[in-house]
Structure 1
Amino acid sequence: MSVAVPTTTSAADEPAPPDAPPATRRWRSHLFVALAALVLGGYVVSRLWQDPFEHAVAENVGDQAFFEWVLSYGVHLLHHGGDPFFTDLLNVPDGVNLAANTSITVYAIVFAPLTMLAGPQITFLTILTLNLAGSAYGWYLFLSRWITPNRAAAALAGLFCGFAPGFIAHANGHLNWTAGWIAPLVLWRLLKMRDPGRWLRNGLLLGLTLAVGFSIAAEGLFFAAMAGGVFVIVWALAPVNRSEARTAGPKFLAGLGVTAVVAGALLAYPLYMHFAGPQTFKGTGFNQRHYSEDLFSFFAFADRSLAAWAGLGNDLAANRTEEQSFFGLPLMLLIIVSLVVLYRHADDRRRATLRALMVVGGLFLLISLGPRLRISGQETDIPLLYALLQHAPLFDAALPARYALVLVGVFGVILALACERAFNATRPQPLFTMGLVIALVPIFPIPLEYRHRAPEPRFIADGTWQRYAPDGGVISALPFAINVAADGQRWQAYTMARGAETFRIPDGYFLGPDVDGSAGKGRIGSIPRATDWLFLRAALYGYIAELDNADRATARADFQRWDIQALFLPDQITGPEGPLFRSAVEITARDLLGEPERVDDVLVWRIRPGVDPVDR
Structure 2
Amino acid sequence: MSVAVPTSTSSADQPAPPAAPRATRQWRFHLFVALLALALGGYVVSRLWRDPFQHAVAENVGDQAFFEWVLSYGVHLLHHGGDPFFTDLLNVPDGVNLAANTSITVYAILFAPLTMLAGPQVTFLTILTLNLAGSAYAWYLFLSRFVTRNRTAAALAGFFCGFAPGFVAHANGHLNWTSGWIAPLVLWRLLKMRDTAHWLRNGLILGVTLAVGFSIAAEGLFFTALAGGVFVIAWALSPVNRAEARTAWPKFTAGLGATAVVAGALLAYPLYMHFAGPQTFKGTGFNQRHYSEDLLSFFAFGDRSLASWAGLSNDLAANKTEETSFFGLPLLVLIAVSLVMLWRNADDKRRATLRALMIVGGLFFLISLGPRLRVADTETDIPLLYALLQHVPLFDAALPARYALVLVGVFGVVLAMATDHAARQADPKPWYAMGLVIALVPIFPLPLHYRHRAPEPRFIADGTWEKYVTDDGVISALPFAINVAADGQRWQAYTMARAGKEFRIPDGYFLGPDADGAEGKGRIGALPRATDWLFLRAALYGYLADLDNADRATARADFQRWGVQALFLPDEITGPVGPLFRSAVEITATDLLGQPERVDDVLVWRIRPGVDPVDR
TM normalised by structure 2 equals 0.99
**Structure 1 residues 197 and 6: CA distance shift in structure 2, 3 A:** farther
Query: Are positions 1:405 and 2:405 aligned together?
Result: yes
Query: Shift in Å at residue 516 of structure 1?
Result: 1.1
Taking the aligned partners of 1:53 and 1:448, their CA distance within structure 2 comes to: 16
Aligned residue in 2 for 1:241: 241
May I ask how many residue pairs the two structures share in their alignment? Answer: 616
Aligned residue in 1 for 2:100: 100
Taking the aligned partners of 1:536 and 1:265, their CA distance within structure 2 comes to: 43
Aligned residue in 1 for 2:295: 295
Aligned residue in 2 for 1:136: 136
Q: Match of 1:472, SS?
A: coil
Q: Match of 1:313, SS?
A: coil
Query: Shift in Å at residue 2 of structure 1?
Result: 3.4
Taking the aligned partners of 1:244 and 1:6, their CA distance within structure 2 comes to: 18
Q: Which amino acid aligns with 2:555?
A: A
1:539-554 alignment to 2 at 5 Å?
A: 539-554=539-554
Q: Which amino acid aligns with 1:431?
A: W
After superposition, give the CA deviation of every residue in 1:180-218 in whole Å (9 maximum; x if it has no partner): 000000000000000011000000000000000000000
After superposition, give the CA deviation of every residue in 1:2-54 in whole Å (9 maximum; x if it has no partner): 33555444578987866972211111111111011000000000000000000
Query: Shift in Å at residue 61 of structure 1?
Result: 0.1
Same amino acid, percent of matched pairs: 85
Taking the aligned partners of 2:311 and 2:269, their CA distance within structure 1 comes to: 49
**Structure 1 residues 569 and 232: CA distance shift in structure 2, 3 A:** same
**Structure 1 residues 95 and 19: CA distance shift in structure 2, 3 A:** closer
1:87-236 alignment to 2 at 5 Å?
A: 87-236=87-236
**Structure 1 residues 381 and 357: CA distance shift in structure 2, 3 A:** same
Q: Which amino acid aligns with 1:275?
A: F
Q: Which amino acid aligns with 2:188?
A: W
After superposition, give the CA deviation of every residue in 1:80-137 in whole Å (9 maximum; x if it has no partner): 0000000000000000000000000000000000000000000000000000000000
Query: Shift in Å at residue 471 of structure 1?
Result: 2.1
Q: Does the 8 Å CA contact 2:474/2:506 hold for their aligned counterparts?
A: yes
Q: Match of 1:595, SS?
A: coil
Select between 3-12 and 395-404 the one with higher mean Cα deviation.
Answer: 3-12
Aligned residue in 2 for 1:320: 320
Structure 2: runs of 5 or more not aligned: none
Taking the aligned partners of 1:3 and 1:421, their CA distance within structure 2 comes to: 12
Q: Does the 8 Å CA contact 1:278/1:517 hold for their aligned counterparts?
A: no
Query: Shift in Å at residue 423 of structure 1?
Result: 1.6
Query: Shift in Å at residue 427 of structure 1?
Result: 1.6
Q: Does the 8 Å CA contact 1:5/1:349 hold for their aligned counterparts?
A: no
Q: Does the 8 Å CA contact 1:357/1:410 hold for their aligned counterparts?
A: yes
Taking the aligned partners of 1:7 and 1:467, their CA distance within structure 2 comes to: 73
Q: Does the 8 Å CA contact 1:367/1:400 hold for their aligned counterparts?
A: yes
After superposition, give the CA deviation of every residue in 1:274-331 in whole Å (9 maximum; x if it has no partner): 0000000001100000000000000000000000001000000000000001000000
Q: Match of 2:442, SS?
A: coil
Q: Match of 2:560, SS?
A: helix
Aligned residue in 2 for 1:348: 348
Query: Shift in Å at residue 518 of structure 1?
Result: 3.4
Q: Does the 8 Å CA contact 2:2/2:191 hold for their aligned counterparts?
A: no
Taking the aligned partners of 2:318 and 2:15, their CA distance within structure 1 comes to: 50
Q: Match of 2:521, SS?
A: strand
Query: Are positions 1:590 and 2:590 aligned together?
Result: yes
Taking the aligned partners of 1:56 and 1:224, their CA distance within structure 2 comes to: 30
Q: Does the 8 Å CA contact 1:16/1:25 hold for their aligned counterparts?
A: no
Taking the aligned partners of 1:533 and 1:15, their CA distance within structure 2 comes to: 76
Taking the aligned partners of 2:14 and 2:117, their CA distance within structure 1 comes to: 48
Query: Are positions 1:511 and 2:511 aligned together?
Result: yes
Q: Does the 8 Å CA contact 1:305/1:443 hold for their aligned counterparts?
A: yes
Aligned residue in 2 for 1:331: 331
**Structure 1 residues 348 and 168: CA distance shift in structure 2, 3 A:** same
Query: Shift in Å at residue 152 of structure 1?
Result: 0.3
Q: RMSD of aligned C-alpha atoms?
A: 1.3
**Structure 1 residues 595 and 469: CA distance shift in structure 2, 3 A:** same
After superposition, give the CA deviation of every residue in 1:151-171 in whole Å (9 maximum; x if it has no partner): 000000000000000000000
Query: Shift in Å at residue 422 of structure 1?
Result: 1.4
Structure 1: runs of 5 or more not aligned: none
After superposition, give the CA deviation of every residue in 1:207-255 in whole Å (9 maximum; x if it has no partner): 0000000000000000000000000000011111111111111100000
Aligned residue in 1 for 2:496: 496
Query: Shift in Å at residue 425 of structure 1?
Result: 1.7
Q: Does the 8 Å CA contact 1:568/1:604 hold for their aligned counterparts?
A: yes
Q: Which amino acid aligns with 2:239?
A: P
Query: Are positions 1:538 and 2:525 aligned together?
Result: no
Aligned residue in 2 for 1:471: 471
Query: Shift in Å at residue 594 of structure 1?
Result: 0.3
**Structure 1 residues 61 and 506: CA distance shift in structure 2, 3 A:** same
